[in-house]
């Protein structure tokens, strides 16, 4: 049984799970994952807006909808980057002040 636990600990360290993380590091990682997911949504919306524009065939209503989609996705990207920058700064300050 001890051999199995030792093997599991070696595997966990190799995977990056060996040492327990502090609460700010865990929160920062979760926020980073959520913001990355939102970034993927931005990419999908941008591709969708471009697709709408390319397939509009000169229909002004479709072009306006595509422009609106692209504009909204760019505004969303700006908000995401701002939130990520603020989060990174705050978590960095919390981690540096606790250690």
Is residue 2 a part of any domain in this protein? Answer: no
Domain count for the chain, please give it: 1
pLDDT at 1: 66
Is residue 25 a part of any domain in this protein? Answer: yes
Domain that holds residue 45: 21-98
User: Shortest CA distance to 95 belongs to which of 85, 83, 87?
Assistant: 87
Is residue 36 a part of any domain in this protein? Answer: yes
Residue 75 DSSP code:
H
Is residue 7 a part of any domain in this protein? Answer: no
pLDDT at 8: 77
pLDDT at 35: 79
pTM here is: 0.64
Per-residue model confidence as pLDDT tens for the chain (99 residues): 678 878 878 887 777 776 667 777 777 778 778 878 888 999 999 999 999 999 998 899 999 999 999 999 999 889 888 988 888 888 788 888 877
User: Shortest CA distance to 38 belongs to which of 73, 88, 66?
Assistant: 73
């Amino acid at each position: 049984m001890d051999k199995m636990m030792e093997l599991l600990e070696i595997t966990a360290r190799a995977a990056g799970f060996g040492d327990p993380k502090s609460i700010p590091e865990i929160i920062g990682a979760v926020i980073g994952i959520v913001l990355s997911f939102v970034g993927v949504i931005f990419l999908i919306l941008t591709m969708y807006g471009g697709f709408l524009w390319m397939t509009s065939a000169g229909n002004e209503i479709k072009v306006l909808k595509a422009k609106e989609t692209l504009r909204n996705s760019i505004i969303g990207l700006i908000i995401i980057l701002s939130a990520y920058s603020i989060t990174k700064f705050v978590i960095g300050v919390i981690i540096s002040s606790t250690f």
